[in-house]
Amino acid sequence: MRRQYLDLKAKHPEAILFFRLGDFYETFDDDAETCARLLQITLTGREMGRGLRVPMAGVPFHAVQGYLARLVQLGRTVAVCEQVEDARPGAPARGMMAREVTRIVTPGTVVEPGMLDGARNNFLLAVVATPVARGGDFPTWAIAYADVSTGEFRCTQFGGPDGSEEVRREIARIDPAECIVPRAEAGPTLEAAACAGRVVTRWDAWRWELGAASQALGRAFGVATLSGFGLDDLPEATRAAGALVAYLANAHAGRPPALDGVATYLPGRHVRLDPFTRRNLDLDVPARGSGPSLLRTIDETRTAPGARLLRRWVGQPLVDVDAIRARHDCVASLFGDGGRRGAVRTLLGSVADVERIASRAANGSATPRDLHAMRESLGAAGRIAEALRDGPNDAAAALADGIDPCVEVQDLVERAIFLAPRAAPATPGRFEGAASNGRGAGDPLAAEPLVRPGFSRELDGLVAGVQEARRWIAGLEGVERERTGIPTLKVGYNRVFGYYIHVPTRHADRVPADYVRRQTVADGERFVTSDLKAKEDVVIEAAAAIAKAERQAYDGVLATIAADAERLRATASALAAIDVVAGLAEVAVRRGYVRPDVDAGTELEIHGGRHPVVEASMDGDVAFVPNDCVLDGTGRWALILTGPNMAGKSTYLRSVALIVLMAQAGSFVPAMRARIGVVDRVFTRVGAHDDLAAGRSTFMVEMVEAAQILRYATGRSLVILDEIGRGTGTRDGLAIAQAVVEYLHGRGGHEADASAAGRTRTLFATHYHELASLESTIPGVANARLEVLEEGDRVAFLHRVVPGAAGRSYGIHVARLAGMPRAVTDRAAALLADDADDRTPGGTDAPARTGRGSGAGKGPSDGDAARRVTGTPARVGPMQLTLFAPPSHPVAEAIREVDVEALTPLEALNLLAKLRGMVDRA
Ligand code: ADP
Ligand code: MG
């Protein structure tokens, strides 16, 4: 057995090998140690030949899914090895059981329902890049991704200077459970770098060659040419798609689940969102992540496929105006028609995950319960179609056309498939009087039938043939109790000994002479009689034939359903779309959203806009303050928003971006009115955040990101800059921020000539009031500020955006609001006042005055007292820092000496350790 184990293990060195031994899957050696640690199961040992004892850890076969799920979640791969000869009960296994790896479970190839999250797709993604030498100046990239649990399969390829970013964007959007990349001889590859931070599996290089990949695709879909899939001109996409199907076939030991056929797509048909923007706007949370998100806020779907589709809509907002309006039309008809909306949503409540069930039917793993859930769902689908048509002949009614209730499938399942009552403690089994009174696993009498009596004549015949023997066994307990007078005598079943009569120890003296002892157990002894043995032979023999016939009948049903898989999937996707638009209509009604007007222009006009997520998280007493935003690529294209910390700048910026993205995803928006010239790309950048994992310091990150915007923003893009330039000194930051705005203006000018689009619509929030001066120097730039109400030395933030620039930072006021002790804030105010007195006019203080000037007469900041406490923002920043740490503390001194910009991540960690040491010693 050890040799058998080692042979199998050698074939799957990268996987944990689950080796089937009786009722357990065992792991050995290093695998055992890994599993004991990760699964918190007991590590034991086992003799393996002379004097060899190896570590072993096992899990019971009936609970294997849970353990597999946990390992796979941790990014591990498990090779499952089964015994492939069937073990007859009673027949002692002679010689070595043959074993085979029947399945390689990896995060991206899971089909088991217990291991999947209904609300999200489980994508496997293949990525490949052609070396620069073959692809011109830039590598050509291709990705293919598939969800084996739904059959969805897509691929694309792209190149050009933006290719590397595009591939990162797509991977972030798809959020695959597992990435496969070509295995390389040495060194890091482009592909592996693009998948950084994810589960990456390397897959043999030859699988990615065009020939091998085309063949793999041809085999997978049973076609001689790939032209039908539109892959003729997409060799790189073909390579990725082919490698992916080959990987799947391998993971499923040559019997891969069926995919839908591969569809090509163009990333350019959707709004381009880089990974940072997705995160920054909280569009969605990553798998197993927590916290609020746009998706969570607007998800009122009632089915798992609906939830998955909404995730796709939110992740991939459209750029095609007609397609966007078509979605709005559907939402609008259900928005205004509470009756239809309610009826449809109620019916959706009884719709199961038809998409995944159809896939399981196609690959033969659907259970009877699955099939009945599908039958019920199809019935509900028919009623949903009726409900949608029960009203005006509008966009919602048209959705009903996508539904095909597949009546024959419903009918077939109804006729053929046995449905056991849910969670019935005593399943009656196939035979009357054969209640499974805990006789034990494997008892043929307790086996739940798959197929209804009357469906298969052959099966019914076999069943009838052993009815007498079965009745006899089922009645034996009563008969023997009477005969022996032992009231607690039991008839049971076990895999090794077959049927037996159990007699508790204290009745041992009443055992009749014809009982033959088979086994002694803790609480008694087990016997057989020659009659029981004879009946058992009949039953066991027939059970095998019945099981075979039944499986055949069942597989026949599955095959009939699989032949209809396309119709089923089409209906499933129609239902998902209905679920999404009904959910969007529902959330729009509940939260007071309106239909946005999306057109091909370059304007952006939002009246009374709100931040959907912040608004939803606010409790009843406080109301979200709505704000307007009016930009136009050919007119007032940029808004510079100033205001103190906590005033609501970031919230405002994000609300604008979210409203645009919601609109283009097909949703209504949180506003009074919105007109949106369609946006091709949204960039958001936030100053002063670190990307230590990638080994870049704050300022570096900011500049890399800003450079990207300057390179790629078009006249249709929306750019949101929140405090960029913060990662460096005030003067540098200001200079860079100003140069960025000037550049966007100049570049927009050229584009305006070329493409008749406008300048990049830009929102720039900053606490540098100095930037407000740009309003007077660059055409199309306007100032806005967040209104602050001053009452003596206190401030209240009104969260209202008004024209003009802010005059001051209110850092000390914010400190007061935060509950800083009065003595400290008073002292800070005094220091600030001294500082202002010491200053000579000019220097960095001068632009601040300009900024204040442009808001003259509007803000409350023009009084003398206010002027006295106003310093430059750069001085307020460090001042706040010193409030937190008394100047004399050695740790503070040490921190002060640090040149943050010059630190490498490693140095930063070392420094942190040193500081921690100083604190511990103090
Ligand atoms: P800033 O970027 O100016 O520092 P934020 O946008 O982070 O400020 O806003 C600070 C807090 O103010 C938010 O967490 C939110 O609770 C609240 N807030 C912001 N905008 C509004 C608004 N329009 N209505 C109500 N509360 C708001
Ligand atoms: Mg902010």
DSSP secondary structure string, 77-122? -EEEEEE-S---TTSPPPSPPPEEEEEEE-TTS---GGGS-TTS--
Residues 723 and 726: their CA atoms lie apart, in Å, by 6
Decide if pLDDT at 300 tops 70. Answer: yes
Nearest alpha carbon, ligand 1 atom 25: 624
Q: Is the CB of residue 535 less than 8 Å from the CB of residue 469? A: yes
Proximal ligand: closest to the CA of 643: 1
Q: What is the DSSP string of 16-64?
A: EEEEEETTEEEEEHHHHHHHHHHHT---EEEE-STT-EEEEEEEEGGGH
pLDDT in tens, 670-723: 999 999 999 999 988 876 554 444 445 566 666 777 777 777 888 899 999 888
Q: How many A from CA of 653 to the centre of ligand 1?
A: 10
Indicate the range of 65-69, 625-629, 657-661, 751-755 predicted with least confidence.
751-755
Q: How far, in Å, from the CA of 300 to the mean position of ligand 1?
A: 26
Query: Collapsing DSSP states into helix, strand and coil, what is residue 688?
Result: coil
pLDDT recorded at residue 809: 62
Cα(688) to centroid of ligand 2, in Å? Answer: 11
Lowest-confidence region among 227-241, 255-269, 657-671: 255-269
Q: For a pocket test of ligand 1, which of 625, 646, 726 has the largest count of ligand atoms closer than 8 A to its C-beta?
A: 646
Q: Which atom of ligand 1 is nearest to the CA of 722?
A: 2
Confidence of residue 880 (pLDDT cuts 50, 70, 90): very low
The whole-number pLDDT of residue 160 equals: 80
Distance between CA 890 and CA 918 in Å, rounded? 8
Closest residue CA from atom 18 of ligand 1: 648
Tokens at 740, concatenated: 């960025």
Nearest ligand for residue 797 CA: 1
- The protein residue whose alpha carbon is closest to atom 10 in ligand 1 is 646
Residue 51 pLDDT > 80, yes or no? no
Higher pLDDT, 440 or 390: 390
**Ligand 1 pocket, Cβ-based, cut-off 6 angstroms:** 614, 624-625, 643, 645-651, 799
Taking the CA of residue 626 as reference, the ligand 1 atom at the shortest distance is: 23
Q: Which of 124-133, 388-397, 567-576 has the lowest mean pLDDT?
A: 124-133
Distance 765 CA to ligand 1 centre (A): 13
Give tens-digit pLDDT for 437-464: 444 556 666 667 788 988 989 888 888 8
Considering only CA atoms, which residue is closest to atom 26 of ligand 1? 624
Give the Cβ contact number of residue 228 at 10 Å. Answer: 12
Write down the pLDDT at residue 696.
52
Which ligand has the nearest atom to the CA of 617? Answer: 1
- The stretch 520-549 carries a mean pLDDT of 88
Of the ligands numbered here, which is closest to the C-alpha atom of 644? Answer: 1
What is the rounded CA–CA span in Å between residue 17 and residue 798?
62
pTM: 0.77
Lookup: tokens for 435: 């209640």
Question: pLDDT at residue 164 above 70?
Answer: yes
CB 402 within 8 A of CB 574: yes
Residue pLDDT, tens place only, 587-614: 999 999 999 999 999 999 999 999 999 9
Mean pLDDT for the chain?
A: 83
- HSE value, Cβ hemisphere, 13 Å, CA-based, for 417: 27
Whose C-alpha lies nearest to ligand 1, atom 12? 648
Higher pLDDT, 468 or 409: 409
Least confident of 116-125, 291-300, 721-730, 852-861: 852-861
Residue 878 or residue 58, greater confidence: 58
Ligand 2 centroid – CA 907 distance (Å): 28
**Contact between 729 and 574 (Cβ < 8 Å):** no
| 794-803 sheet: strands from edge to edge | 272-273, 681-686, 718-722, 761-766, 638-642, 781-791, 794-803
Tell how far the Cα of 647 is from the centroid of ligand 2, in angstroms.
8
Q: Is the pLDDT of residue 850 over 90?
A: no
pLDDT of residue 867: 34
Ligand nearest to the CA of residue 646, numbered in listed order? 1
Least confident interval from 189-193, 614-618, 902-906: 902-906
Residue 764: helix, strand or coil by DSSP? strand
- Look at the block and give the residue holding tokens 């944990």: 16
Rounded to the nearest whole angstrom, what is the distance from the C-alpha of residue 895 to the centroid of ligand 2?
Answer: 25
611 Cα nearest atom in ligand 1: 23
Atom of ligand 1 nearest to the CA of 623: 25
pLDDT of 250 higher than 50 = yes
Confidence of residue 752 (pLDDT cuts 50, 70, 90): very low
Q: 765 CA distance to ligand 2 centroid (A)?
A: 8
Pocket test of ligand 1: the residue of 607, 613, 614 to mutate, having most ligand atoms within 8 Å of its CB, is 614
Please determine, for residue 640, whether its predicted confidence score (pLDDT) is greater than 80. Answer: yes
Ligand nearest to the CA of 726: 2
Distance CA 551, CA 543 (A): 12
Q: How far is the CA of 650 from the centre of ligand 1 (A)?
A: 7
pLDDT at residue 477 greater than cutoff 60: yes
Distance, CA 844 to ligand 1 centroid (Å)?
A: 28
CA of 27 to the centre of ligand 1 (A): 54
Average of per-residue pLDDT across 120-141: 82
pLDDT in tens, 65-120: 889 999 988 889 999 998 876 554 544 455 677 888 988 999 999 888 888 888 88
Q: Among 624, 799, 809, 814, name the best residue to mutate to test ligand 1's pocket (greatest count of ligand atoms within 8 A of Cβ).
A: 799
- For residue 480, the Cα-to-chain-centroid distance in whole angstroms is 58
Instruction: Please determine, for residue 874, whether its predicted confidence score (pLDDT) is greater than 90.
Output: no
